[in-house]
Each structure stands twice: as structure tokens, then as C-alpha cells.
Amino acid sequence: MKTLNFVLETFTKGELPPFYTSISNTYNNEFVFKLEKEEGFTLFKKKALVVEDVPGYFQIQSKSLPKGIKLRSLKFYPGFLINFEGVESLDAYLNSRFGKNSRYKLRRDQKKLESSFDIRYKMYFGDISKVTYNLIFEEFYRLLEIRSLEKGIKKNRNLKTKKFYYQLVYPMILEKKASFYVIYNGAMPIDICLNFHIHNTIFQFIRTYDINYSKFNTGYIDLMKQIEWCLLNDIKLISFSKGDFYWKRRWCNTVYDYEYHVFYDSKHLVTALNTKIYYYKKRFKQYVREKNVIAFYHSKKEWLIKHMSQFKNTSWIEKTPLTYDEKVNNIEKLDINSKKYAFLKKSVFDFLYEHTIEKEKDLETYLLKDCANSYLIVGTQNKIVLKYHSS
């Protein structure tokens, strides 16, 4: 049974799967895509085709199916998007979705990030050098791999598609069919979002970030900056990749359905039987999803992975704040950007988050030579000793 992904076919390849002739946006009635060349169905005999991830916000025109070719469709999981109709500004949107305390925290984290580091924001859309593209792309997949390990995802499908997307995305950015939104600290990307564009709709395909900056919630800052960009550039919708997560329900103002479309040769007994089995398997999976069985399973699985990892690795960090005038002897300056001491980065950046007055450029980090696994962080007004324990 052949499978095609509707989003990838339309957004990345600029093609419609067989059996479709055009799509339009149901929210603004804008025509989006039309199949230029119709193909025959002679090669479809005795076969079935599954078209996955058909977004409910598209109105799709289908061809007249040949005799014997039938369609089974089913809603499979929810999708989430931001519809900018009637939204005048980022502040107005945040006011409509978040309470006062949540808005304060979002703005506070953005200010902390910008005051602690050399932060800049960049949307690559229509123009990017190959050198810059290579740097962003390599860092994108490096951060994605680290983030996948942190989340306990052993088989992230996106990690297997690096070569394919490397060839695909660069020309798409130049043609304004894709974009990279990047948050930089100095010259290094620390948060990267890969988007696909079709007319005035953005599909946020993959997002990742440097987990050393996790205290600063760069993903939310990225999203706020992209909302601002969308409003300035007359984007009507931001649609997010599949997955029902709490943050999507908080940020998005519209829930839609993803559908599966199954086309099959009903005259061929084996094909018809296999299609029926496939269809009812999906129906059963959707049923248990709607009953929250799948969500319950994944939540328990995440809890188990987290607690098992804590059981296996009982390392912890002892933090001892010092008065700023207190002297520490026999120390050796070190570089947290070196491979040897890169593990210190997160602790150093957490220190910056907790002491907003401090800046990365002013910090100095030292090895305490008289105390095993101990390090000293010194800012302009604060200092702390970190001792790493393991058992």
C-alpha cells in the first residue's frame, strides 16, 4: 500500500497527490494550488494509495474517480493553527490567549535573554548565502539530535532525512517557499525553526533549540517574534506539525482535523480487503486516542523514562553562593566553549537567568584545583561555586 504525505507533497514538492485537482484556503477562500497536468489512472489497478496528513483548513477538489476506484476517508488527529484574522498586533494576540502573569513571564524571559546574551533575530526568506545556510543546517540537525536524546526519542524520523532536506530547503528559501527563523547568540544559532510556505500560509515543520538555554524558553520567544513577522508580512495562518501538546493549545486559536484519504481498487479482492483492514485499524487507533488512552500511555511512558533515568544516574549539582568579596584560592581559568568543559554551559546560563544583571561577556569560569569536580562562576556582582556529585 503506497503512502504519500499531503503536506510534504504540496508544501515541499509543489505537487498535488493523484486524484486531487486543486486546493483552496477555507479561512479566506483564497485559491492555493491547482494541478497543471492531469495524470491517468491506468497504473492504479490492483493498488491502494494512502494520502496522510490532509489538513482540514484546505478545501480540496478531487477528480472524478474512475470506475472501481473508491475513497475511504477518516479524521485521524487534531491539528493546531493561529488564524490572524482580526489580529492587529502581538500584544493584542497575547492578551487574547494569556493571563497577565503569563504575559509578564513571556516578556520577562525575552528581556532576560536579550540582556544576558548578544541576541539577534533573523528570518531567512528569499535570500541566504550557501555558507550561512550550511552553518544553520548543520547546527539545526546537531541541536535536533541532542533535543531528541533529551526527550527520550530513540527513533526520530527527521534525523534520517538530513540529506534529503539539505538538498531541498536551500532552493526553496530562495524561491520563498521555505524559511529558517533563527535566534542567534553572537554568531551561533541557539533556536531554529524550519518553515514551509504556500501563499500566505506557513507550516512550521520542525523546531529545535539549544537545551543549554532552556531556562529562557527560547521556543516561546521564537514564536512571538514569528507572530510579529507574520503580521508585518500579511501572513494569514501559521499551521503547526502534528502532535497534541499543551503549548499548542495555549498558543493556537483554531483546532482543525487532519484526515487520511485512502483510494483503492475496489474490484481487486485482496486490495479491497487490505484497505478495509487498514481502515478499521486506523479507526480503532483514533477511538482510543479520543478516549485519551494514547495520551495516558505516553504520559506514563515519559514518567517512567524520566524516573528510570534518575534512578540510573543520581548525579546532582551542589550550588554554594559566595559573597562577592570572598576570595577563592588556587583556581584555574577555563573556557566553557571548549569540548572538555561544554557540560558547564547549562549551569552557567542558569546562573545568568537567576542573576539578570549579569551578562555572558562579563562572566569568568574557573576550575577549583583543591576541590574535585568543583567550579567557580564569577560575574560583575555575583559569584557561585558549583560542585558536581555522582554515584
SS3 of 326, please? Answer: coil
Measured CA distances, 389 to 42, 237, 371, 372 (Å): 68, 48, 12, 9
Q: Measured between alpha carbons, how far is 323 from 338 in angstroms, rounded to an integer?
A: 28
Closest to 143 in 3D by CA, of 186, 95, 182, 196: 182
Confidence bin at 21 (pLDDT 50/70/90): confident
Decide: pTM greater than 0.75.
Answer: yes
pLDDT at 125: 97
Mean pLDDT within 353-367: 95
pLDDT at 40: 53
3-class SS string, 4-24: EEHHHHHHHCCCCCCCEEEEE
Measured CA distances, 93 to 83, 85, 97, 158, 270 (Å): 10, 11, 6, 31, 52
pLDDT at 89: 96
The CATH homologous superfamily to which domain 86-235 belongs is Gcn5-related N-acetyltransferase (GNAT) (3.40.630.30)
Report the range out of 175-184, 282-291, 292-301 with the highest average pLDDT.
Answer: 175-184
Does residue 234 surpass a pLDDT of 90?
Answer: yes
327 CA to centre of own chain: 45
Does residue 307 surpass a pLDDT of 70?
Answer: no
Q: Measured between alpha carbons, how far is 358 from 360 in angstroms, rounded to an integer?
A: 7
Lowest mean pLDDT among 108-117, 219-228, 282-291, 349-358: 282-291
Contact in structure between 312 and 369 (CB atoms under 8 Å): no
pLDDT mean across residues, the chain: 87
Measured CA distances, 14 to 3, 175, 301 (Å): 17, 12, 38
pLDDT at 110: 97
pLDDT at 204: 92
pLDDT at 5: 87
pLDDT at 149: 77
Report the range out of 47-61, 283-297, 367-381 with the highest average pLDDT.
Answer: 367-381
pLDDT tens readout for residues 119-131: 999 999 999 999 9
Give the 3-state secondary structure percentages of the chain, helix then strand then coil, rounded to 5: 40, 30, 25
Contact in structure between 68 and 266 (CB atoms under 8 Å): yes
Does residue 290 surpass a pLDDT of 60?
Answer: yes
The residue extents of the domains of the chain are: 2-76+255-294, 86-235, 316-389
Contact in structure between 352 and 339 (CB atoms under 8 Å): no
Helices in the chain by DSSP H: which ranges? Answer: 6-7, 90-97, 100-116, 130-151, 162-174, 218-232, 246-251, 269-290, 293-312, 345-354
Q: Measured between alpha carbons, how far is 228 from 84 in angstroms, rounded to an integer?
A: 11
pLDDT tens readout for residues 6-18: 888 888 777 777 7
pLDDT tens readout for residues 138-162: 999 999 988 877 766 666 667 778 8
Confidence bin at 226 (pLDDT 50/70/90): very high
Q: Measured between alpha carbons, how far is 71 from 158 in angstroms, rounded to an integer?
A: 30
